[in-house]
Amino acid sequence: MTLSTSRLHLNCPAPSPVDGKMASQDCDALNMDPDMELLSDEELEREAEGFKEQGNAFYINKDYAEAFNYYSKAIDMCPKNASYYGNRAATLMMLYRYREALEDSQQAVRLDNDFMKGHLREGKCHLSLGNAMAASRCFQRVLELEPDNSQAQQELKNAESILEYEKMAEIGFEKRDFRMVVFCMDRALEAAAACHRFKILKAECLALLGRYAEAQSVASDILRIDSTNADALYVRGLCLYYEDCIEKAVQFFVQALRMAPDHDKARLACRDAKALKAKKEEGNTAFKEGNYDAAYELYSEALTIDPNNIKTNAKLYCNRATVGSKLKRLEQAIEDCTKAIKLDETYVKAYLRRAQCYMDTEQYEEAVRDYEKVYQTEKTKEHKHLLKHAQLELKKSKRKDYYKVLGVNKNATEDEIKKGYRKRALLHHPDRHSGASPELQKEEEKKFKEVGEAFSVLSDPKKKSRYDSGQDLEDDGMNVGDFDANNIFKAFFGSPGGFSFEASGPGNFFFQFG
């Protein structure tokens, strides 16, 4: 059978309630109304048949609740009549009460093992509940009684398909191919619509795929029917756990363990949830106390507890990045933020943290990109301000860095700027390199002019203010190219006779001031 093309055939007719064969005519007075005890067996049989006929009429009119009531009355009068149980089983199937229908079907074939419709209905109930092996045995029994029964032949194929999908799902789960498991369970549920086991497996895999709303919906549907279902409680807890609602998740895991103390998955998940919560809180406490090295280690330990908890791990990576930035491990912090974003692309805090690290390492283009992403997500005044600041720093970074030219930092004082100019101007003065190659002379002359240009801007309060704020210096007539580096040098060091460059050997010079 090719599973990719074979779908379960479900266009079978609804179970017919009218079973012409009366498997047993024995009627007794068990649970009978006292007034009925005076009736003969023949009269009881007639009464029971009357109730059955009324039940049939209600069934045909799709009033299954009333049909159920009348078939029950017939059973009360003749509790050893297989056809009555068969009819009530058909009605229960239409009411989607497959477990009760299964009990009636089984009772019917216990009373009459040759009751073909009883075996067929038992098989359908088993199939709907996901018991494909048991269903196959029932359909095979039908084919023993009626070898050409087309409905049994088709249902047997459906049961075989379900067994194949179960096998594929098991292999997929072992390989952590959760999408394959969901696909297989969807196909299986087409015939086994009432199988809680298939629904739970599907829900668990949906949770592991991060499709929490779908998983929660499946688990909640089961809990509405059976509030004590340990598997459904476990899946609810799993969804909360993966959504970083760890405290609530633990409550569901504990409840599942009360219902089923040997539920291994709930026990392991509860253990991991408690360990993760405790380790994360220890890291938070260490961070608040300023013990950054300890916080870094604790967050690292927490990250090893459960690699599958994407949302919590994203927060842990971001927390560790915050600690890393405090410890001046900026590249590591950037890497941690990137890992957090990879786990959760909507995690705004991780983008903000990484952007700040990019700013601190002067990677302005990357910072602008992250701030743009944040502002597109949350258009707040604060985010707009951060974006504009990063754009300004990017613009400034593309100009000549006059502070760097003078070898001083951006917070340099007036004296530090003068000292920087003195050192660099003397280092690159053309006279110092008069004996060098033409290429080197040209390069040093260029650097000498840049030093003069930098000093002309940073030594002028107005120009420096405009430069620091990122404004164009050419505005308001401030042409930075309109200067003479030699004149600046002379003005700074005094008259030309105030100093001289003298060679002390090949390529070596010293300065002599008058």
User: pTM (2 decimals)?
Assistant: 0.67
- Which residue matches tokens 């026990």? 267
Among the ranges 13-17, 84-88, 422-426, which has the highest mean pLDDT value? Answer: 84-88
Yes or no: say if 353 and 318 are a contact pair by the CB < 8 Å rule. Answer: yes
Amino acid at 280: K
Interatomic CA distance for residues 374 and 385, integer angstroms: 12
pLDDT digits (tens, 9 = 90+) for 41-76: 788 889 999 999 999 999 999 999 999 999 999 999
Query: Which band of pLDDT confidence, cut at 50, 70 and 90, is reported for residue 514?
Result: very low
pLDDT digits (tens, 9 = 90+) for 385-425: 999 999 998 988 888 888 888 899 888 998 998 898 889 88
Tokens of 405: 């030219």
Phi-psi region of 31 (alpha: psi -120 to 50; beta: other; left: phi over 0): left
For the residues 297-304, what does the mean pLDDT come to? 97
Nearest to 27 by CA among 39, 11, 35: 39
Residue 88: the pLDDT is 97
Interatomic CA distance for residues 164 and 166, integer angstroms: 5
Yes or no: say if 463 and 399 are a contact pair by the CB < 8 Å rule. Answer: no
**What is the 8-class DSSP label of residue 431?**
G
432-469 burial: b if 16+ Cβ within 10 Å, else e:
bbeeeeeeeeeebeebbbbbbbbbbbbbeeebbebbee
Whether 224 shows a pLDDT value over 80: the answer reads yes
Determine what percent of the chain is predicted with pLDDT higher than 90: 67
DSSP readout, 211-237? -HHHHHHHHHHHHHH-TT-HHHHHHHH
Tokens of 163: 């067994």
CA angle 35, 36, 39 (to 5 degrees): 120
- How many CA atoms within 13 Å lie on the side-chain side of 176? 3
151-186 burial: b if 16+ Cβ within 10 Å, else e:
bbebbbbbbbbbebbbebbeebbeeebbebbbbbbe
Whether 29 shows a pLDDT value over 50: the answer reads no
